[in-house]
Structure 1
Amino acid sequence: MRSSPRRLPALLLGTALVTTVLGAGTIASATTTAQSDRDATAAASAAHTGHAMAVSTQASGDDPDGDGYIPAVPQVTGVTPSTATPPSRYFHEFQANCSVTHTAPDDPIVYPGQPGKSHDHTFMGNTSTDANSTTASLTGGATTCKAPADASGYWMPSLYNGDRKILPIGPQTIYYKAGVTDYTSVRPFPKGLRFVVGNPMQSADEFRHHRGFVEGWECGDSYFNVDFPATCPNRPDVQLNIRFQAPSCWDGKYLDTPDHKSHMAYPVVKPGTNDNMCPADHPV
């Protein structure tokens, strides 16, 4: 896929392979910071060749039969989504601050064991992440995350300005939030959980109405942009950012599914309230 200047930017697909249980939470959103450019729209004109979200049929260390389903062991069953509204508290989150490690045309979730098959990705966290990564290979590995025990890998499509790759500056922030109103019902995510958020082939309208759209692209005083801001102040203290929220609810059964998305879901609003709760088919 070659993007035109008004097509979607390159950072619409986010992926994570969670290998350590850091606490009670699920990946809620990530803020990515890239070096600003006076004409940021020009960066959209050269999004790297991409792919549609294909069903994974390649066997890997985590999925030996290659059917795309990786069962959780043990599975979490018998859960009823909580409708409670607990006492108000100020924070229900923690953050993983992880610097960029490398870039490569690899994706161990979508194209496991197939180096060079993906469009180019910018990797953060675990320094060993590549096309052959598995939960076992990442566990205990070196990391650029500030929490030394966090062996998780995070990656996103690389951002280009023409043929020049633009790397994020400094540690990137991955927020782990409750996602649901009853934060007391939140459980630790399982080791080995993996998922993909977004779609590099979606239209601008689909991007704007995606549940993960938080503030879109922002730069300086310009935010809620579906496309790159037309201009961006050329100052060292101003950066181009995007924030994208991941689903907070899990089916309790699979660490991954063939489309890398179906085992995860966004919260739903409890009828008659503004409270969020998990849907019945993704109760955890």
Structure 2
Amino acid sequence: MSPLLRRVLAGVATTLILATAGYATDRADRTGQARHSRHAEHTGHAAHAYTYSEAQQAAIVAQAAAPLRGSEFRADCLSSHRRGDDPIVFPGQAGRSHIHEFYRNRTANASSTLESLSAGTTNCTPQTDLSSYWTPTLHQNGVPVAPERVTVYYQGITDHTRAVAHPRGLRYVVGNALATSPDQNPAARWSCVGRTESSRDFMNCPPGTKLENYLDFPTCWDGKNLDSANHRDHMAYATGQTCPASTPWSSPAWNC
């Protein structure tokens, strides 16, 4: 799989909205379990926590290791703005979340809807996709740092006979904000720019290169729901080349 080349955002939970014609992401930063425990309620980390079953972990790892199936297309973005909002997990609650870096749609905030995003503008290529993406803001010595770039890859589907287009308004969460080990957050991987190896744990990159983080999104959808109570159950990772019976419809794999 092609990696997402992105300046490090130390994150372990991701949210995705298919808001207009694309997707939105939200990742909680990994700052230590003790801090998470003390401040989870106030920073919104607890709302992003999730425990993957062994079967789910195995499916995620298998999908990440699978060869590219067919062609791909991509979206290249820069940071647009910064807010303490999360339109998926805390809709309508401005400032309720930890601080996020927003990409693509310039209007995105806690009250965003499909209609408001559709009326907005984008700072990404292609400009026809007005969806919003967001990740927790990286801080270095207390100073917020925007990523140099964000690239989202949409990759080949598994089962062409059950392929469907991404529905407008689809939203879901990926990751575990309270993970205390790499195995508890198998959807997140780390690498160094220009190197082929990756790890589910943080990596120390050599001088002259930069840390990159990429996230693997599920490829299977239940065909009915744009969301679910935990923002996850209407989506699933393919097992081998087959989607589970509960989520039988296949869609392009997202790397973010």
TM-score (norm 2): 0.72
- More deviation, 217-226/161-170: 217-226
1:277 to 242, 249, 252: 242
Letter in 1 for 2:246: D
Residue 172 of structure 2 is aligned with which of 149, 174, 195? 195
The aligned counterpart of 1:68 is none
Name which of 80, 84, 87 aligns with 1:101. 80
Give, in whole Å, the separation in 1 of the partners of 2:193 and 2:151. 17
Matches within 5 A, 1:108-147: 108-147=87-126
Match of 2:144 in 1: 165
Name the SS of the counterpart of 2:47 in structure 1.
coil
Question: Secondary structure of 2:46's partner?
Answer: coil
User: What is the DSSP-based 3-state SS (H/G/I as helix, E as strand, rest coil) of the residue aligned with 1:131?
Assistant: coil
**Contact conserved, 1:50 with 1:200, CA < 8 A, in 2?**
no
Map 1:37-186; keep pairs closer than 5 Å: 49-53=43-47, 91-170=70-149, 172-180=150-158, 182-183=159-160, 185-186=162-163
After superposition, where does 1:16-27 map in structure 2 within 5 Å? 16-21=16-21
The answer to whether the Cα contact below 8 Å between 2:190 and 2:203 also exists between their aligned partners in 1 is no
The structural deviation recorded for 1:116 is 0.6
Give the counterpart of 1:251 among 202, 214, 222.
Answer: 222
Structure 1: 5+ residue stretches without partners:
1-8, 33-42, 56-87, 270-275
> How many residue pairs were aligned?
213
1:15 aligns with 2:6: no
Identity %: 36
The whole-number CA distance in structure 2 between the counterparts of 1:265 and 1:232 is 35
Provide, for residues 230-264 of structure 1, a one-character-per-residue CA deviation record: whole Å limited to 9, x for no partner: 3541x3xx222001101111111211111111111
Q: Quick check: which one's helix share is greater?
A: 2
Q: TM-score, length-normalised on structure 1?
A: 0.66
Q: Residues of 1 paired with 2:206 and 2:74: CA distance? A: 27
**Match of 2:151, SS?**
strand
* Greater Rg by CA: 1
Q: Which position in structure 2 is the counterpart of 1:228? A: 202
CA apart distance, 1:278: 1.0
Shift of 1:165: 1.9
The alpha-carbon distance between structure 1 residues 50 and 148, as it changes in their structure 2 partners (threshold 3 A), is: same
1:97 is displaced (CA, Å) by 1.4
Conserved 8 A contact 2:183-2:200: no
Higher relative contact order (CA 8 A, sep 6+): 1
Displacement of 1:186: 2.0
Distance 1:54 1:159, change over 3 A: closer
Name 1:61's counterpart in structure 2.
none
1:126-179 per-position Cα deviation (integer Å, ceiling 9, x unaligned): 111110101111013100121121011111122222312221103x11111234
Contact persistence 2:93–2:110 (CA under 8 A) = yes
Contact 2:44 2:96 in 1 (8 A): no
